[in-house]
Copies of this chain bind each other. A is one copy, B any other.
């Protein structure tokens, strides 16, 4: 029996090439049981004419389908659904009568409902998106990333792609971080002192799980990265928020009973301040006096385009008290989910065992691709390019902000990719953000960064990692208008 030509149509929303769409359409017809064994496909000429595509595209698709045994070619008589085509069993799903499980009782621990940043998923549709931490297609070196990924997909790297590493990591990535990345931050570490994580988020989470219990106390910056506060809340430790000033976390304000201190000395999140060297030394001294550990989240040091970055706190640590968190999410892209932890071996051993239990290891292919991108020098070239672009945008931001008399609350003396802003005291930045969305402007309300119930509401963050320079002036003008109104 021949399959009627009307069965075949191309979806306008399909992603991928025409050939892949034709293949997919036929494979799906077979797998869903619509096309049966032995049925005859339309000729390549007919199908091409029907779909309005070139004949060679259809021929190539058919050839691929023959290779994977979905179709057979019978000489001049054409293509047929193969006798060997996969035929998956299809069952009729049971209709759900009614949920009889009492989920309020069944759920032992709740994790939802925390205060997080709300970022619209369709942020790219906003004309003036002062959003933070997404990837700018114009700044990311997509071509070379693609090249490195392709290399990591090759036969030579088959085992790096497919193997179960159990609790280990890609030795090539570890070696690069050890020999190149860390020395630039003044850090020396051996391979057993490094653990690859699913981004900085995962590094902070692992650290909190290993070090904190219900009987321990964590000091952390206020305001801070909201996801860190979530992690600490979930760990059920005692929480000691410490209000930051223009130089970051003030060591004297850390309460005496603290066990672990979370800090962002390079670029405080969200105020963007950089901790001066003297205070770094004070922080280490304070930690030693309290016998506390310091978790250094060094998430954006590469974006120090105004001044050379200060050495990491970890590089000044002579007694193994600092645990270092690195990330490739800001400098490459957040969808990569790749970061790392550096710390003393007894700590890394526990973090590694926990990671193995939670997820085994970050996918090998991702690790190997990053190793190539780093070792080929693409990473440094990209950082340089991004730094230059962010510098230009920052200059435009600063000029527009000054021209409109908006108030900068955190200046980011070393660079970075955002400004921390303060609206007049009576303004609620959440409402401001909603109003601005109407004008196609996206800003981030700042209240979610603060701890406690009665948080300041007039702060907001303006990211410039994804906005084009030529839209900055108009975007800031619209913000100024909304702030004034």
Contacts and interface: CB of A to CB of B under 8 A. Distances in A.
A108 B28 contact: no
B93 A376 contact: no
A16 interface: yes
Interface stretch (A81-89, A239-247, A421-429): A81-89
A84 B186 contact: no
B333 A94 contact: no
A201 B344 contact: no
B23 A376 contact: yes
Given A357-B205, A380-B88, A319 B162 contact: no
A46 interface: no
Given A101-B320, A334-B164, A151 B16 contact: yes
Interface stretch (A309-317, A438-446, A450-458): A309-317
Interface stretch (A37-45, A135-143, A272-280, A403-411): A135-143
Contacts of A383: 86
A133 interface: yes
A77 interface: no
A358 interface: yes
B320 A377 contact: no
Contacts of A372: 16, 20
Q: Which 8 residue pairs spanning A and B have beta carbons closest together?
A: A27-B377, A91-B186, A162-B333, A100-B319, A164-B334, A103-B346, A93-B188, A112-B353
17 contacts: A16-B151, A20-B372, A27-B376, A69-B384, A70-B381, A89-B308, A93-B315, A97-B319, A102-B291, A106-B347, A135-B163, A146-B153, A163-B335, A164-B329, A165-B335, A201-B359, A230-B357
Interface of A: 15-17, 20, 23-24, 26-28, 30-32, 65, 68-70, 84, 86, 88-104, 106-114, 116, 119, 121, 124, 133-135, 137, 140-142, 144-146, 149-151, 153-166, 168, 172, 180, 183-188, 198-199, 201-202, 205, 209-213, 216, 227, 230-231, 234, 259, 288, 291, 293, 308-309, 311, 315-321, 329, 333-337, 344, 346-347, 349-350, 352-354, 356-366, 372, 375-378, 380-381, 383-384
Given A24-B377, A68-B378, 12 more contacts: A15-B172, A68-B377, A94-B315, A101-B291, A103-B347, A108-B216, A121-B168, A142-B155, A162-B334, A201-B357, A205-B357, A359-B359
